[in-house]
Amino acid sequence: MQIRDLPYTDPGDPDVRSGPRFLFWLGRSQLEGQLKSLSWGLLHHCAIAGLPLAVGLSVQAVIDGSGRDLVTAGVLLVVLGVLISVGDTMLHRTAVTNWITAAARVQQLLARRTAELGSALTRRVAAGEVVAVSTGDVEKIGWFVEALSRFLAAATALVLICVGLVLYLPSLGVLVAIATPVLALAVLPLLPRATRRADLQREKAGRATELASDTVAGLRVLRGIGGEELFLGRYRRASQEVREAAVRSARMWSLISAIQVFLPGVLLISLVWYGATLARDGRIDVGQLVTVYSAATLMLFPLRNVEEIAMAYSFSRPSAQRAVRVLSLRRTTRPPSADAEVPQGDLYDPVTGLMAPQGVFTAVVCGDPDEAGRLAERLGGHAEQDEASASVPSVLLGGVALDELPLGTARTAVLVQDKDPVLLSGTLRELLDVPSSGDVTARDALAAARCDDVLDALAQASVDADGDPMNTRITERGRSLSGGQRQRLALARSLVTDPQVLVLDEPTSAVDSHTEARVAAGIEQLRRGRTTVAFASSPLLLDLADRVVLLHGGTVVAAGTHRELLRHEPAYRAVVTRETEEEAVGTAAQDRLTTVDGLRPARASEEIEERA
């Protein structure tokens, strides 16, 4: 796989049973790139391992006064230099390719899972953790994948060097062969503690990132209540905790690095002292001593790969575990149906008994906003599924379970706009350029959502000479607009799609009463003949609905028109009119008095007739 082939047509089906299994799956998925990196790494390290032999030959040639041996050593040095250059260049090229392709694969997997889960993702995983996984964790995972092949090449080179030294000069080669495993494994007892400290640092960094993102998202509100300094102080404390954790982690890794320097130094000193003794006694040649010493010195380079792979695994294992936590989430446990046709008919929720007839504007009144939000997501098939909720029946559209439909078909059939929709940065034209039926134009949707003042504001901010608001850029999340303006633009975007079923959760909660009445009328007019479900408690919107349903305790308890429910349902009156219990008692007493007053003339006439 080459970088030019990215993004992948299909990133694959990952093994999400554990973090190490996921890392192994990533390495296996790009086996070709790993083998290329391993091959170039072996060439590079073996060429470096050959340098001591050439240096030893040249030194011995000078001592012996042999010009022919000196030329041979020189030619060998040139050849080894070329091989080292080519091997190092290609090793770096293939290693970086492995890193980027692994990171791209993980990012594609995360993006696919995020799109599938939708708003259910942040209820299962904190937003800061999602940001950490998709940024820093992706890099650490890619680091381990590319470092793995370089480590294997270095380990193979170390084995070859030790075997070669034992065969070349057993008296010193055995010492090097015994010391090499000790040098490589000396830091293993420290790795668990270093890993725990690194995990704590990343955990604190994730919380700080989440706090920062929440603060930035609510900056307008914080400024309104004067809470900037309070949240700034919280972030300062969180960032200081991250700094302290990073310092403690760095201390442990610096100790590991110091051991990696100290122990090889002890080996080299021992090797020089013992080798010099053997050379003084005439048991080995000076050239042999130089060869062994040079080989031991150059062994420090592949030994660094041992430290690197240990660090890479320690950092990537928790990162892979967090990625697995996101990738293991599933939208549904039910197998999708092969039939990709969009069903038509009534929308029915077996859990609550809510029925939204086809082509009817249905309003749903629920005293618990959280319960209303969960029901809205379930109506769109967005609710996540796990072992505890696998037995919950799916919402039916025309008698077909939404969970049994392919994801794309379900999204085409039912569109859910939550109470806090997100506007992506870009022009207004790009915002409204969404998959749609084509029957509703952007102009009609903006008019129905009553976005006149929004268009005027964008026209004034437009950089075009003609002041076209459609070409005006909207800042990230629409922060330059008011809450009501953002809500109406999001509503216009939903109306443009013209779905078969449109579910709106509090679509007019951020606008004033006058605008709310106009927006409600626009929705009713534009969506006439289409199935629309609106979760609301505003009388202005409820009065325009064809049918109003009251939910209480997670079950439908009443249905009718707005005026009928106002007259006959006290629970409905309490939610819609915000009527207190005392006011309800007073209203009931007044109704009884009205009834009694109405009965008195009738009773009086009856007594007159009896006396007559």
* 405-448 pLDDT per residue, tens: 877 788 788 999 887 778 878 888 888 988 888 889 999 999 99
Residue 336 pLDDT: 47
Report for 210-214, 356-360, 414-418: range of highest mean pLDDT: 356-360
361: three-class secondary structure by DSSP:
strand
Residue 603 pLDDT: 44
Q: Which residues pair with 396 in a beta bridge?
A: 348, 401
User: What is the mean pLDDT of the segment spanning 559-578?
Assistant: 89
Give 95 or 213, the one with higher predicted confidence.
95
Q: Are 314 and 198 in contact (CB under 8 A)?
A: yes
Residue 216 pLDDT: 65
In tens, the pLDDT along 244-278 reads 988 988 888 888 888 878 888 888 888 888 888 88
Q: Does residue 362 carry a pLDDT above 90? A: yes
User: What is the mean pLDDT of the segment spanning 163-191?
Assistant: 84
Residue 526 pLDDT: 93
Q: Does residue 3 carry a pLDDT above 80? A: no
Counting residues of the chain whose pLDDT is more than 90, the rounded percentage is: 18
572: three-class secondary structure by DSSP:
helix
Q: Are 341 and 410 in contact (CB under 8 A)?
A: no
In tens, the pLDDT along 304-357 reads 888 788 878 877 888 888 888 888 877 654 444 444 578 889 999 999 999 999
Q: Does residue 583 carry a pLDDT above 70? A: no
Q: Does residue 597 carry a pLDDT above 80? A: no
What is the distance between the alpha carbons of residues 106 and 25, in angstroms, rounded to a whole number? 11
What is the overall mean pLDDT for the chain? 81
Task: Give whole-number Cα distances, 386 to 293, 376, 378, 472, in Å.
Answer: 61, 19, 14, 43
CA dihedral 345, 351, 355, 361 (to 10 degrees): -100
Q: Are 196 and 317 in contact (CB under 8 A)?
A: no
User: What is the mean pLDDT of the segment spanning 490-511?
Assistant: 91
Of 149, 151, 146, the residue nearest 3 (C-alpha): 146
Of 555, 551, 533, 560, the residue nearest 379 (C-alpha): 533
Q: Does residue 56 carry a pLDDT above 60? A: yes
- The alpha carbon of 485 is separated from its chain's Cα centroid by a whole number of angstroms, namely 28
Q: Does residue 609 carry a pLDDT above 70? A: no
Give 449 or 292, the one with higher predicted confidence.
449
User: What is the mean pLDDT of the segment spanning 458-481?
Assistant: 77
Expressed in angstroms, the distance from the first to the final Cα of the chain is 108
In sign, the C-alpha dihedral spanning 425, 427, 432, 438 is negative
What is the distance between the alpha carbons of residues 605 and 612, in angstroms, rounded to a whole number? 11
Q: Are 182 and 303 in contact (CB under 8 A)?
A: no
149-175 b/e (C-beta count within 10 Å ≥ 16 → b): bbbbbbbbbbeebbebbbebbeebbeb
Give pTM, 2 decimals: 0.59
Question: How many other C-beta atoms lie within 10 A of the C-beta of residue 68?
Answer: 8
Q: Does residue 68 carry a pLDDT above 90? A: no
- The alpha carbon of 95 is separated from its chain's Cα centroid by a whole number of angstroms, namely 25
Residue 61 pLDDT: 83
What is the distance between the alpha carbons of residues 119 and 416, in angstroms, rounded to a whole number? 11
What is the distance between the alpha carbons of residues 78 and 149, in angstroms, rounded to a whole number? 27
Of 405, 352, 357, the residue nearest 378 (C-alpha): 352
Longest dimension (CA), the chain: 156
User: What is the mean pLDDT of the segment spanning 399-406?
Assistant: 83
Residue 229 pLDDT: 73
Q: Does residue 601 carry a pLDDT above 70? A: no
Residue 410 pLDDT: 82
Lowest mean pLDDT among 275-289, 336-350, 534-548, 584-598: 584-598
**CA angle, 44 then 48 then 49, to 5°:** 115
pLDDT band at 590 (very low <50, low <70, confident <90, very high): low
What is the distance between the alpha carbons of residues 428 and 525, in angstroms, rounded to a whole number? 23
Q: Are 156 and 331 in contact (CB under 8 A)?
A: no
Of 45, 95, 40, 59, the residue nearest 300 (C-alpha): 45
Residue 488 pLDDT: 92
Residue 228 pLDDT: 67
What is the distance between the alpha carbons of residues 32 and 23, in angstroms, rounded to a whole number? 16
Which helix H or strand E contains 347, and what residues bound it?
strand 347-349
Residue 224 pLDDT: 58
Q: Strand 555-560 relative to strand 396-397: parallel, antiparallel, unpaired?
A: unpaired
pLDDT band at 611 (very low <50, low <70, confident <90, very high): very low
Residue 605 pLDDT: 46
Residue 353 pLDDT: 92
In sign, the C-alpha dihedral spanning 357, 362, 368, 370 is positive
Residue 331 pLDDT: 60
In tens, the pLDDT along 156-175 reads 888 888 888 888 888 888 88
What is the distance between the alpha carbons of residues 322 and 508, in angstroms, rounded to a whole number? 38
What is the distance between the alpha carbons of residues 297 and 261, in angstroms, rounded to a whole number? 12
